[in-house]
Structure 1
């Protein structure tokens, strides 16, 4: 996929604030600080389209990024918010739930997990939830450049086992540092966008 243009479109907390143009959308979910913003920036080949933060839990809205005027990447708030009140967590949960359960033009979800660690309970719960909603899923193990090469197969096997990954769901390792598997990520996204138009 050739990225011709990309822009921040809108931040939303409820349905009446979502974009109205009915372009296909791909959601990106993952715990805080897993690298969602870095992945978006690497994918669109821009440094600061999505704001990266050293403070986990900074994204508190659904952030829509329009790419090539053809589709949106939607960054949802990270889960496992360390410094957020119980009430806020519940609000985030409801906001994500409303979006994932009601958005007709949602064509897939990328679930990001940290390639250096076992998936968390939240990662597993999000994966099971996306299965339940019958949304096409790509699991992306981020920060893989920080895992020694001779440990990577073990890490991947551990993630697949912990998440009980279905055969039809792909697991992709990714690094925004050295762009590992950026081409495969692009292909998956392109396939889902094209599925909407066909």
Structure 2
């Protein structure tokens, strides 16, 4: 299996609507998650680029589908708009959710989804909807329990085991892991999972 260098990630393009997405070729994995769950920080840590995905204290700041290319093949990472926006109007929120839904339903090159959750607030309503979608569509999904450094090792491990066991009982293509951007913990584990999703279907 080919090893992808995630520090090669470069911004490719942004899409406000699904029709603006780049060519649907090769393979890509999308990062999804509630606003302030640590999605941008997770991607930045993975790629060793603190400026790759924008981080903000304002929920819902990422309003576009952002595509990043990876060298060595037709591989991409996709940063989906955060959900759970607190300060946006209903029309804007509906537009975002519609675009995310169309992307997830139509994108042929989508090989997996990384669902980012704050380990202290896992499995929100939208998280549950995303997991159910992955079960129904048989889409490989990796739950990233971020900010694991905010909990002591015992409670963090217990949360991980509970969620991972729940996921495994629902479908074999669902799994979870601990992740800390601050301490760079879980990066290698995430990289290995991404390698599997990106390369096994098109090599």
The answer to whether structure 1 residue 131 and structure 2 residue 99 are counterparts is: no
Give the structure 1 partner of residue 100 of structure 2: 96
Contact 2:7–2:46 (CA<8 Å) still a contact in 1? Answer: no
Partner secondary structure for residue 200 of structure 2:
helix
TM-score, length of structure 1 as denominator length: 0.92
Post-superposition offset of 1:23: 2.5
Distance 1:21 1:87, change over 3 A: closer
| Equivalent position to 1:41, from 44, 49, 52 | 44
Give the structure 1 partner of residue 195 of structure 2: 190
Give the structure 1 partner of residue 55 of structure 2: 52
Unaligned runs of 5+ residues in structure 1 are: none
Partner secondary structure for residue 201 of structure 2:
helix
The equivalences for 1:1-198 within 5 A come to 1=3, 2-3=5-6, 5-20=8-23, 22-68=25-71, 70=73, 71-160=75-164, 166=170, 168=172, 169-198=174-203
Paired with 2:200 and 2:166, the residues of 1 have a C-alpha distance of 30
Paired with 2:99 and 2:21, the residues of 1 have a C-alpha distance of 12
Contact 2:168–2:175 (CA<8 Å) still a contact in 1? Answer: no
Post-superposition offset of 1:167: 5.2
Name the Cα RMSD after superposition: 1.9
Unaligned runs of 5+ residues in structure 2 are: none
